[in-house]
Amino acid sequence: MDRKIVAWAALTVVALLVTGCSQPADADAPPPAALSSKPAGSPTSPADAKPSTAPDTAAAYRKWGLKPFAAPPAPPKVKPVKRTPGGPVPVISDIPTNEKIVFITIDDGAEKDPAFVRMMKDLKIPVTMFLTDSAIRTDYAYFEPLAGLGNGVANHTLTHPNLRTLGADAQRREICGQQTKLKERFGKTPRLFRPPYGNWNEATRAAVGQCGAEAIVLWRESMQIKNMQYQRGDKKLHPGDIVLAHFRGPAELKGTTMTQMTANMLRHIQEQGFTVARLEDYV
């Protein structure tokens, strides 16, 4: 064989080994502790993942004063939270896992800051939006690009009442009514429900199941302006914790914007060695 051909073939093999290719990934006062528990075992890092070093990712995070997060672990093949056939819907404030992951949830929808949409497009961090119709009806379209990014759309009632003060029929109207509105607007019936203020009773639980939702989602930490409020005495995040934030702006945040509040929240999560996973992958 010609020596030039052999040399060319060898160089081609080396180039293929160096460049390689990668497989893309598939695309309020705190309530009492919820009815969930952690499995035995010590916490583990998120699949030993390291923060992305891609220049475009690093630049996007730098724009918001942040460092890239570690990639979350692959979602479990079997969701750890699910409704028992014929049983009541589960009530959760955390997810049973040993992975160092948390889940971000954002409530209401009153603040509609365009910069927050840009932030979510840049950071690609999954959140679940628990939306109240009375807060979002003036601009449903604001939430469409956020939903288009794969962020969850979930039910937070029509008018944000304290459900404990309402009878069973009124609770069903609040919950089922918002199920219908969100399906009409965003194309899917919400699977998750959060009661305003974290207040619920067994009538709430029954109505959630009757209206087609699959779980009542509470929280373990709530983000304020610069700091988090913790339910546990150790004042720390735990694997699988659900974190509460709100669509709020400078009027409610003492001059702080929603993007600044979100950046503060993400720093708290990252500084404690956690990354962010998608809630709907686990419930």
Helices (H), the chain: 3-19, 55-63, 114-123, 133-136, 144-148, 168-186, 202-210, 258-271
CA distance 208 to 106: 19
pLDDT on residue 249: 97
Instruction: Return all residues near 160 (Cβ < 8 A) that are at least 6 apart.
Output: 108, 132, 134, 135, 196
Parallel/antiparallel/unpaired status of strands 91-92 and 228-230? unpaired
Q: Mean pLDDT, the chain, as a whole number?
A: 86
Average pLDDT over residues 74-84: 95
Please tell me whether the overall predicted TM-score, pTM, comes out greater than 0.75 for this model.
yes
Q: Give per-residue pLDDT as tens, 232-252.
A: 999 999 999 999 999 999 999
**pLDDT at 163 exceeding the cut of 70:** yes
What's the Cα-to-Cα distance from 158 to each of 71, 127, 251, rounded to whole Å? 35, 21, 23
Query: What residue ranges define each of the domains in the chain, with the CATH number in brackets?
Result: 92-283 (3.20.20.370)
Q: Give per-residue pLDDT as tens, 176-234.
A: 999 999 999 999 999 999 999 999 999 999 999 999 999 999 999 999 999 999 999 99
CA distance 209 to 36: 18
The conformational region for residue 240 under phi > 0 = left, psi -120 to 50 = alpha, else beta, is left
